[in-house]
A and B are shown apart, each in its own frame.
Chain A
Amino acid sequence: MVACAAFVGCNDDFPGKPNPADRPLPQNEITDFATLFAQNCTGCHGADGELGPAPPLNDPLFLALIPDETLHAVIRDGRPGTPMPAFAAERGGTLSTEQVKIIAAGLKSHWPADKTEEVSDAAIVADAPPYLSSATILQLTPGATDQASTLFERACAECHSPNGAGGETGYASGGAINDRAFLALISDQALRRIIITGRHDLGMPNYAAPDGRPEDFKPLTSAEIDELVALLASWRRGDAAAGDAGK
Chain B
Amino acid sequence: MTAVTAARRPGDAGDAVGGVVPREVVRPGTVEEVAEVLRAAAAEGRAVVPVGGRSKLTWAAPPESCDLLVDLTGLDRVVEHVAGDLTVVAEAGVRLADLQAQVGEAGQLLGLDPPEDGATLGGIVSANASGPRRLRYGTTRDLLIGITVVLADGTVAHAGGKVVKNVAGYDLGKLFTGAHGTLGVVASTTWRLHPVPPARRVVTLEVPDAAAAGPLSIALARSTLTPSAVELVGSAGGAARLIVLFESIAESVAGQARAAVALLGGGEESEDLPGDLGRRPGGADDVLLRLAYAPASLSAVLAALPAGTAVAAHAATGVSYAAVPAAEAADALPRLRAALAPHDGTAVVLRAPEAVRDSLDHWGPVGDSLDLMRRVKERFDPERRMSPGRFVGGV
Q: Tell me whether A and B are bound partners.
A: no
- B interface residues, Cβ below 8 angstroms from A: none
